[in-house]
Amino acid sequence: MRLIIHDYAGHAFTAQLARRLAEIGHNVLYISFADFGTPKGRVDREERDPPAFRTRSIRGTVPFNKENLLMRWRAERAYARMVCTVIEAEGADVILSTAPIEVQCRIQDLCKQKRIAFVAWVQDIHSEAIKSVLSRRAAVLGWSAGRYYRRLESRFLARSDRVIVISEDFRNVLSRGDWNIPLDAVEVIHNWANLDEIPLLPKENEWAKEHISSDGLPVIIYSGTLARKHDPSLIMEIARNLPVAIFVFSEGAAVESLRSAGKMEGLNNLHVRPWIAQQDFPRMLAAADVALAIIEQDAATYSVPSKILSYMAAGKPIVASIPHDNLAAIKIAEANAGLVSDPTDRPRLIDNLGKLLRDEGLRVQLGRNARGYAESMFDVAEIAIRFEAILMEASVKRSGTKDTRSYGRSKRESER
350-362 per-position pLDDT tens digit = 999 999 999 999 9
Q: Are residues 159 and 209 in the same domain?
A: no
Q: What is the pLDDT of residue 65?
A: 73
On whether residue 363 sits in a domain, the answer given is yes
Strand (E) positions, 131-244? 162-165, 186-188, 219-223
C-alpha to C-alpha distances, 392 to 3, 5, 267, nearest whole angstrom: 10, 14, 54
Q: Are residues 154 and 283 in the same domain?
A: no
Q: Are residues 63 and 13 in the same domain?
A: yes
Span 43-73, pLDDT tens digits: 999 999 999 999 999 998 877 777 677 788 8
Q: What CATH number corresponds to the domain at position 318? A: 3.40.50.2000
Q: What is the pLDDT of residue 346?
A: 92
Give pTM, 2 decimals: 0.88
On whether residue 133 sits in a domain, the answer given is yes
Q: Are residues 329 and 251 in the same domain?
A: yes
Q: Are residues 26 and 72 in the same domain?
A: yes
| Parent domain of 288 | 196-376
On whether residue 398 sits in a domain, the answer given is yes
Q: Are residues 90 and 123 in the same domain?
A: yes
Quick check: 39 and 197 in contact, CB under 8 A?
Answer: no
Q: Are residues 214 and 153 in the same domain?
A: no
On whether residue 94 sits in a domain, the answer given is yes
Q: Are residues 141 and 243 in the same domain?
A: no
On whether residue 89 sits in a domain, the answer given is yes
Q: What is the pLDDT of residue 376?
A: 95
The Cα 332–Cα 307 span in angstroms is 12
On whether residue 416 sits in a domain, the answer given is no
Low-confidence ranges of the chain (pLDDT < 50): 403-416
Could you give the percent of the chain with pLDDT greater than 90?
Answer: 65
C-alpha to C-alpha distances, 316 to 137, 138, 173, 248, 367, nearest whole angstrom: 37, 40, 31, 16, 4
Q: Are residues 257 and 361 in the same domain?
A: yes
Quick check: 165 and 122 in contact, CB under 8 A?
Answer: yes
Q: Are residues 386 and 367 in the same domain?
A: no
Residue 302 CB neighbour total at 10 angstroms: 20
Q: Are residues 187 and 278 in the same domain?
A: no
On whether residue 61 sits in a domain, the answer given is yes
Could you tell me how many residues make up the chain? Answer: 416
The total of structural domains in the chain comes to 2
Q: Are residues 227 and 262 in the same domain?
A: yes
